[in-house]
Amino acid sequence: MKLAVIADDFTGGADAASFLKRKNAKVVLVTKIPHKQVECDCLVFALKIRSIPKNEAIESVKQVCEYLKSHPVKHLYYKYCSTFDSTPKGNIGPILDFLLEYYHLNRCIICPSLPENGRTVENGILYVNGIKLAESPLKNHPLNPMWDSYIPNLMKEQSRYPCLILNRKSFDSYYDNCPDRDKHYIIPDYVNIDDAQHIVKLFHNDYLFSGGSGLLEHLFQFHNNEHVFSAKTATKTIVLCGSCSKATKSQIESWINKGKTSYAINPNSNIEELYSYIQESGSEILFYSNAVFGDLTNANRDSTFYSNAKKIESLLSKLGAFAYKNAYNRLIVAGGETSGAITSVLNFTSFYIGKEIAPGVPTLIPTHQPNFHLILKSGNFGNKEFFLEALEE
């Protein structure tokens, strides 16, 4: 294998796999440690480690590292959200510290940029569509509110090691000005393809990388092979939306405005009634949380917020399993937490990577069920026609 990727949630894993697929890599995505040899160029481990206790997250990562001892790769890439993780209890810093120590390395780049989706880094500051992260609409994320845009400040709360800013003017003189030193992280400028190519050229001999999915395709270009996987056309589709992001809201609105069948669920919805609705509704149906059209600015201050979110996640997971058992062969899920929950309920653990629906959102085909299409979308990904466009694939 050329490359192993540890992604911190399920949609992040699909995102990473999608960018590798662009370069015709043979990619397999797994949600558990494989019990046998996997034949591929790139193996993506989609782990649910973003919002769990630090020790549990590190233990999951350690299991991947142990697996890679007998399945060596040229590069290991720790993939996290392109808007980073702004809470002091975030797991990005602890996991990176663990990886540096496990592999006895002195450095790792931190590269969360994904310019294609408006995420860029310059002088250590993370921007979203040209706006500093902490001043962008993402600052009010209910689970991970964005309180700072300067990555070294975010890392200082999570990691034991310092960060070095590497602006593009210093790319070519990096090795002259930065000899071997104690453990540290490097945060390079990355706002366009030229930056990505310079970063890979400078660090392509390193074993460990970290960041968003933007750098992955450029890293793999050093080891490009031709592999193509195609799947049969899906005929019955169910869309399950746990995300309440602005992007997902607009996608739901487009679906409704097209006259497509939809149903707004709430934490107290009766699951048997929802099952009946599926059976009566034909071949295309969308379920979404009724909270998506409410005011979520201070939602996480509501004492019932987290319990209601879990109830919605449970309902959507049950609907996904029911649809799968009732011959629906395309399942589209919006939201990272919801994607993880539904994938676990369906017990899918490895996937071939099919056609990309939007940047960072590929079709996943379970290796043991090649006639089923699974599309996992991070809440903020895709244009407003995303769900409708997915029906055409």
Pair 250, 214: CB distance under 8 Å: no
Q: According to the model, what pLDDT value does residue 228 have? A: 46
- Counting residues of the chain whose pLDDT is more than 90, the rounded percentage is 60
**pLDDT for residue 385 is more than 60:** yes
The verdict on residue 12 lying in a domain is yes
Alpha helices in the chain (DSSP H): 10-22, 54-69, 92-102, 151-156, 174-177, 193-203, 216-220, 246-257, 271-280, 305-325, 336-346, 386-390
Q: What is the CATH classification number for the domain harbouring 9?
A: 3.40.50.10840
Average pLDDT (170-197) is: 81
With cut-offs at 50, 70 and 90, classify the pLDDT of residue 178.
low
Same domain membership, residue 168 and residue 28 = yes
Least trusted range by pLDDT, from 143-152, 179-188, 360-369: 143-152
Identify whether residues 215 and 118 lie together within a single domain: yes
Q: Report yes or no on 188 lying in a domain.
A: yes
pLDDT at 318: 96
- Asked whether residue 77 carries a pLDDT value surpassing 50, the answer given is yes
pLDDT confidence band for 142 (50 / 70 / 90): low
Residue 73 confidence (pLDDT) above 90: yes
Q: Rounded CA gap, 319 and 265, in Å? A: 11
Domain's final residue, options 169, 199, 223: 223
Task: Report how far apart the first and last C-alpha atoms of the chain are (Å, whole number).
Answer: 29
Q: Are residues 274 and 205 in the same domain?
A: no
- pLDDT surpasses 80 at 144: no
In the structure encoding, which two tokens stand for residue 358, read together?
């939007």
Does 84 lie in the same domain as 192? yes
Each residue of 303-320: pLDDT tens digit? 677 888 899 999 999 999
Task: Let me know: does 339 contact 333? Beta carbons within 8 Å.
Answer: yes
Q: pLDDT tier at 170 (50, 70, 90 boundaries)?
A: confident
Structural domain that includes position 209: 3-223
Do residues 218 and 340 both lie within one domain? no
Give the number of domains in the chain: 2
Is pLDDT at 298 greater than 90 in this prediction?
no
Give the end of a domain, one of 223, 253, 269. 223
Say whether 31 sits in a helix, a strand or coil: coil
Q: Is residue 232 part of a domain?
A: no
Give one word for 129, left, alpha or beta, with left for phi > 0 and alpha for psi -120 to 50.
Answer: left
Find the CATH number of the domain harbouring 250: 3.40.980.20
Q: Is there a single domain that holds both residue 54 and residue 158?
A: yes
Please state which of the ranges 2-6, 69-73, 98-102, 180-184 shows the lowest mean pLDDT.
180-184
Per cent of the chain over pLDDT 70 is: 89
How many angstroms separate the CA atoms of 211 and 110, rounded? Answer: 5
Nearest CA to 219 out of 33, 19, 71 is that of 19
pLDDT score at 308: 87
Question: For residue 180, what pLDDT band results from cuts at 50, 70 and 90?
Answer: low
If asked whether residues 82 and 190 sit together in one domain, one would say yes
Residues 214 and 247 occupy one common structural domain: no
Query: Do 92 and 164 share a domain, yes or no?
Result: yes
Tell whether 62 and 101 lie within a shared domain.
yes
Q: For residues 254 and 171, state if they share a domain.
A: no
Q: Stretch 342-355: mean pLDDT, rounded?
A: 89
Domain edge (last residue) among 223, 246, 262: 223
CA–CA distance, 380 with 102 (Å, rounded to integer): 33
Write down the pLDDT at residue 238: 96
- Residue 141: which pLDDT band, with cuts at 50, 70 and 90? low
- Whether residue 242 is contained in a domain is answered as yes
Least confident span in 45-59, 104-118, 219-233? 219-233
Backbone φ and ψ of 235, nearest 5°: -120, -25
- 357 within a domain of the structure (yes/no): yes
Cα(155)–Cα(141) distance, integer angstroms: 19
> Cα 220 vs. chain centroid, distance in angstroms?
18
At residue 225, the pLDDT reads 40
In-domain check, residue 354: yes
Residue 230: inside a domain, yes or no? Answer: no
Same domain, 107 and 145: yes
More confident: 192 or 134: 192
Model pLDDT, residue 244: 87
175 is a domain residue: yes
